[in-house]
């Protein structure tokens, strides 16, 4: 049995991916560490024993959606607490997923388990008041956006910028010609990507908008080609359910997704991690997002930022258009996309601004940097516990 055990929680597809790379990096540095937790197939493939696949079973977004599934979350939470009480863990790694993870963190703190938070809750966007609580319960905060460090200044929390893990993930292995040949695309004609998100609820709300937008673009640019790189967490059946309502030829891609996305001339992107991925690939885009009415009414009173897309937040300016909630109408989106595509100067300017965003992130290596930080915390706390045990033994013998 491993001398050290770590519990890890990743509730979303991107967190599952970044968590799996973190686990692999930790194991390269210390192969004796055992892992158990909540996550998805990527954490499982990295050797984590999963209590439950919450990436597929709990892929929920929005306040209303969480309320509807409250009993499921309560049961899951109780199971995690029981495991932490009985599992003799050297530490716990929490990846994003703040509504659930911060609740777990409070219990872990009471149990004396060191807490490493990887990918900070977005306190810079909403509920900034959480800073104080986070600083009181988290042992180490590992942030992946350079500006996040300053948002914890004055709290006393140990914060480290480790770089963005997407830079470790986006690896291109094909040229444009090879990609086009493999997927039967014409490299000399416009290629537009549809990226409707990685969760069922997102796809159900956003994909119909994207399809209707693509239809309008096709009317003006008849030889435009449309590609949909399907997220692994979204079923093929769900995608086809929406595609059957259009006569448009939209190619669904299930492999070599980053290679395919690297050749896109433009993209319609659901707000989230995909906007950063597109920025790193220097793909001009518009950001589209829509949630349930109740979630929107609550969120718009809590969110303090002028933009929703991570790419615009990082740029500190509206470098790509956003179409959110009631503004996410196909006619308006198509009109703006066509305007950009017909203006070479604006198109190049967007690419230039996206390149600047990429430069702000720095170099690859986030997983390795985060692994080192995790082991520092675990080893430090283990050493402290050993010293306390020795001191207790000495006092008893006296």
Per-residue pLDDT of the chain (398 residues; tens, 9 = 90+): 447 999 999 998 889 999 999 999 999 999 999 999 999 999 999 999 999 999 877 655 555 455 656 788 899 999 999 999 999 999 999 998 888 999 999 999 999 999 999 999 887 766 677 888 999 999 999 999 998 999 899 999 999 999 999 999 999 999 999 999 999 999 999 999 999 998 888 999 999 999 999 999 999 999 999 999 999 889 999 999 999 989 999 999 999 999 999 999 999 999 988 999 999 999 999 999 987 777 666 666 666 668 888 999 999 999 999 999 889 999 999 999 999 999 999 999 999 999 999 999 989 999 999 999 999 999 987 666 655 555 554 455 55
Domains detected in the chain: 5-163+365-397 (3.40.50.2000), 169-361 (3.40.50.2000)
pLDDT at 388: 57
d(CA 5, CA 17): 20
Residue 2 has a pLDDT of 47
Identify the CA nearest to 260 among candidates 209, 194, 358, 197. 194
Q: H-type helices in the chain, by residue range?
A: 13-29, 41-45, 54-57, 63-68, 70-86, 98-110, 130-137, 166-169, 176-182, 200-220, 236-243, 257-262, 273-280, 293-302, 310-315, 330-341, 344-361, 366-397
Number of residues written out for the chain: 398
Q: Which pLDDT score, from 0 to 100, does residue 387 have? A: 55
Q: Report pLDDT for 272.
A: 86
pTM of the model: 0.86
């Amino acid at each position: 049995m491993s001398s050290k055990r770590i519990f890890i929680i990743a509730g979303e597809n991107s967190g599952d991916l970044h968590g799996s790379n973190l686990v692999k990096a930790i194991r390269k540095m210390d192969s004796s560490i055992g892992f158990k937790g909540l996550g998805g197939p990527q954490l499982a493939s990295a050797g984590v024993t999963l209590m439950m696949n919450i990436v597929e079973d709990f892929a929920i977004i929005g306040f209303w959606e969480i309320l509807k599934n409250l009993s499921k979350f309560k049961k899951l939470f109780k199971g995690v607490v029981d495991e932490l009480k009985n599992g003799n863990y050297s530490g716990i790694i929490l990846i994003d997923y703040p509504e659930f993870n911060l609740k777990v963190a409070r219990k872990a703190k009471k149990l004396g388990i060191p807490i490493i938070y990887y990918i900070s809750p977005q306190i810079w966007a909403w509920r900034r008041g959480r800073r104080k609580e986070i600083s009181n319960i988290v042992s180490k905060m590992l942030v992946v956006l350079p500006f996040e460090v300053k948002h914890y200044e004055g709290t006393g929390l140990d914060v480290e910028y480790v770089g963005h893990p997407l830079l470790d993930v986006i690896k291109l292995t094909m040229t444009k010609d090879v990609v086009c040949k493999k997927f039967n695309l014409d490299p000399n004609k416009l290629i537009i990507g549809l990226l409707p998100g990685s969760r069922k609820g997102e796809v159900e709300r956003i994909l119909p908008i994207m399809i209707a937008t693509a239809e309008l673009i096709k009317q003006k640019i008849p030889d435009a080609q449309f590609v949909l790189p399907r997220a692994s967490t979204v079923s093929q059946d769900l995608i086809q359910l929406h595609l059957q309502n259009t006569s448009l030829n939209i190619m669904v891609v299930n492999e070599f997704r980053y290679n395919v996305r690297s050749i896109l001339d433009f993209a319609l992107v659901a707000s989230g991690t995909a906007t950063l991925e597109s920025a790193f690939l220097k793909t001009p885009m518009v950001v589209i997002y829509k949630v349930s009415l109740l979630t929107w009414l609550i969120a718009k009173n809590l969110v303090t930022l002028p933009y929703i897309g991570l790419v615009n937040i990082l740029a500190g300016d509206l470098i790509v258009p956003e179409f959110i909630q009631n503004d996410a109408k196909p006619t308006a989106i198509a009109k703006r996309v066509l305007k950009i595509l017909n203006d070479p100067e604006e198109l190049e300017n967007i690419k230039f601004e996206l390149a600047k965003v990429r430069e702000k992130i720095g170099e690859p290596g986030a997983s390795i940097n985060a692994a080192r930080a995790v082991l520092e915390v675990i080893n430090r706390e283990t050493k402290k516990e050993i010293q306390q045990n020795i001191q207790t033994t000495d006092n008893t013998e006296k």
